[in-house]
Chain A
Amino acid sequence: MNLTIRPFLALLGKEVRSFFASPLVYFVAAVFLALSGYYFYTNLNAFITFGFGESIVEHLWQRLFSDIVRVVITVIPLVTMGVFAEEKHLGTVELLYTAPLRDFEIFAAKFLACMAVFVVITGSTVLYPVLIYRIQPFDLSSLLSVYLGLLLLIGAMVSIGVFLSSLTETQLIAAMFTYGAVLLLWNLSWNEAAVPGDLLGIVTQLCAFDHFEPFGRGVIDLKDVSYFLAIITLMGWLTMRSMESRQWRGRR
């Protein structure tokens, strides 16, 4: 194996393992799945009662997934809050900083480990469409696009959480700020009437909801994909600056 990537893989492996070895992730998954199961049941019920025969994409998946995003927003801070804050608190971050690892690799390992958690958790929601598909086959392409959108959205939100975790030693502070940041990002344009017309364009450009919504309609637009990738890149860059701050702050 390439020796230069081995330390990175070791760190990634440790991050993933420590997530799945701790009870937190299972509690998060349990709450997430209970809530998303409830949303699936209620949305399906509404669809059967009011929307049957209409577009399943518009009347079921879009609604279900915007509900699921709400649950995702609730649990993201719990997963990301510790990635740096805990290591800073324990002092173990010093082991990472003095290991032959690049700062970028440390960020990437933390980020990808959180993503692994969410891939497992949100991946298990595939059960719902599979159940429907067995009863009534439907067009899968829009479903694939909504999962792609969800992955990108979670990626952006996780990167925000990872960055905020790198700013503090206290997990709860990281969690609270992450919660505020991702909720605002999602809801920025919720009341279009409250935003002056010339600002509205900017606000909707910045709002995660407006970039996620097309995926729910089965539309994959490069503009939306790059919006999420830009957030991840920006947060990665900021996290690395935050890691570098040990240089002038003289602290972990």
Chain B
Amino acid sequence: MIQAQHLTKDYGLFRAVDGVSFRVGAGEIVGLLGPNGSGKTTIMRMLTGFFAPTSGTCTIAGIDIARDPREARRMIGYLPERVALYPDMPVQGFLSFIAKVRGVEGRVQGAVDEAMEVCGLTSMARRQIGKLSKGYRQRVGIAQAIIHQPQVLILDEPTVGLDPRQIVEIRSLIRTLSGLATVLLSTHILPEVSVTCSRVLILDKGHVIAEDSVEALTEKTAGRGETLVRVTGAEADVVSAIRGTAGVEDVEVLERGQNGMLALAVTSARGGAIRSHLVRTLVDGGWPVHEVSPRLMSLEDLFVDILEQAGRAERGA
């Protein structure tokens, strides 16, 4: 549905995006993840036809945006990074303006009502946009993006600046929309992609440095064979008992909690296969076991890891 080929964008001498290629299939929710300044917004602006790439092409639903920008833009709903709305306009008036500009065919009022309904704005229809809370303004931003029922939704940092409750609401709204459109969203907040997206593109300094499904990325980190153990007991005894278990290579104390609860990271060359032995050791020792689980790297760790790898590869080259 979205196809980017060798997208490159130069701002003067600065190369903001460097040869980025990716595809987003119909119905997917894909996250563009990267630190600020990694080229997320620039990529989205090229996809929406806000400006043209220095080189490379973008195709939206088979339409080359450089060749037929008007037709391609019709397919796209876009939430810009800084949600830009006219503060003096009422919600309803603004949405009906956008519907007409976006070329909604047939009944504009029907499209406006539907978008307000989906985004939970019906009660705010007559309110001036400038007087809405930030969460509602974000909803208006999303409503204007979906009003013409686009096949492709491009959302630039849709949850930035919202409070936790609003973030949850907007995320579930985005998931609702996934049935209706192909979604590409950008974020620098890692949990966001695991909650909303099916696939992730990780960007750094204008390059895609990793691309995978959220599960696969998480699995990669689990593959190191670390096991997390939470157990109550005397530290020295527990550690030496675990060390004595067949297959265990190393034990690291992560946390010493209250009431003698310990969190331990157990490393083994045999990966998760040692977990049943571990449990037996601990139960035999009479220590209450609270948790034995594969130790997943958080996405934060993962991200730092990938960036470091990319950095090493660069220096090696």
For residues 157 through 211 of chain B, which have their beta carbon under 8 Å from a beta carbon of chain A?
Answer: none
**B222 at interface (Cβ–Cβ under 8 A)?**
no
For residues 88 through 111 of chain A, which have their beta carbon under 8 Å from a beta carbon of chain B?
Answer: 90-102
Interface stretch of the complex, out of B26-34, B99-107, B113-121: B99-107
**B50 at interface (Cβ–Cβ under 8 A)?**
yes
A–B complex contacts, Cβ < 8 Å, 7 sampled: A11-B101, A14-B97, A95-B84, A97-B49, A99-B73, A248-B12, A250-B16
Closest A residue to B49 by CB, please name it. Answer: A98
**A37 at interface (Cβ–Cβ under 8 A)?**
no
**How far apart are A194's CB and chain B's nearest CB, in angstroms?**
43
Closest B residue to A101 by CB, please name it. Answer: B101
Contacts of A135 in B (CB 8 A): none
**How far apart are B230's CB and chain A's nearest CB, in angstroms?**
48
> Judging by beta carbons under 8 Å apart, are A246 and B101 in contact?
no
Contacts of A98 in B (CB 8 A): 48-50, 73, 76, 78, 80
**How far apart are A158's CB and chain B's nearest CB, in angstroms?**
21
A-contact 0/1 string along B85-104, CB 8 Å cutoff: 11111000000011011110
> Judging by beta carbons under 8 Å apart, are B80 and A18 in contact?
no
> Judging by beta carbons under 8 Å apart, are A10 and B100 in contact?
yes
> Judging by beta carbons under 8 Å apart, are B74 and A100 in contact?
yes
User: Number of residue pairs across A and B with beta carbons under 8 Å?
Assistant: 81
For residues 107 through 124 of chain A, which have their beta carbon under 8 Å from a beta carbon of chain B?
Answer: none
Q: Which of A14, A99, A247 is B102 in contact with, Cβ under 8 Å?
A: A99
Q: Which of A14, A22, A95 is B80 in contact with, Cβ under 8 Å?
A: A95
Contacts of B73 in A (CB 8 A): 98-100
Q: Which of A7, A14, A248 is B103 in contact with, Cβ under 8 Å?
A: A7
B-contact 0/1 string along A55-78, CB 8 Å cutoff: 000000000000000000000000
**B9 at interface (Cβ–Cβ under 8 A)?**
yes
B-contact 0/1 string along A1-44, CB 8 Å cutoff: 00100110111011000100110000000000000000000000
Contacts of B76 in A (CB 8 A): 98
> Judging by beta carbons under 8 Å apart, are A94 and B50 in contact?
yes
**B280 at interface (Cβ–Cβ under 8 A)?**
no
CA distance A101 to B73 in the complex (A): 9
Closest B residue to A9 by CB, please name it. Answer: B100
Contacts of B16 in A (CB 8 A): 250
Q: Which of A9, A10, A92 is B86 in contact with, Cβ under 8 Å?
A: A92
> Judging by beta carbons under 8 Å apart, are B103 and A6 in contact?
yes
Contacts of A96 in B (CB 8 A): 101
Contacts of A101 in B (CB 8 A): 70, 101
Q: A7-B102, A7-B103 are in contact. List 6 more A-B contacts (CB 8 A).
A: A10-B97, A11-B101, A91-B80, A94-B84, A97-B49, A250-B9
**B144 at interface (Cβ–Cβ under 8 A)?**
yes
B-contact 0/1 string along A156-192, CB 8 Å cutoff: 0000000000000000000000000000000000000
**A134 at interface (Cβ–Cβ under 8 A)?**
no
**How far apart are A212's CB and chain B's nearest CB, in angstroms?**
35
> Judging by beta carbons under 8 Å apart, are A21 and B88 in contact?
yes
Q: Which of B70, B80, B102, B105 is A94 in contact with, Cβ under 8 Å?
A: B80
**How far apart are A144's CB and chain B's nearest CB, in angstroms?**
36
CA distance A6 to B101 in the complex (A): 7
B-contact 0/1 string along A231-252, CB 8 Å cutoff: 0000000000000001111100
CA distance A247 to B84 in the complex (A): 20
**B22 at interface (Cβ–Cβ under 8 A)?**
no
CA distance A18 to B91 in the complex (A): 14
**How far apart are A154's CB and chain B's nearest CB, in angstroms?**
25
Which 6 pairs, one residue from A and one from B, show the smallest C-beta to C-beta distance? A10-B100, A91-B84, A250-B11, A100-B70, A92-B84, A98-B48
> Judging by beta carbons under 8 Å apart, are B89 and A18 in contact?
yes
Contacts of A102 in B (CB 8 A): 70
Contacts of A250 in B (CB 8 A): 9, 11, 16, 42, 51
**B23 at interface (Cβ–Cβ under 8 A)?**
no
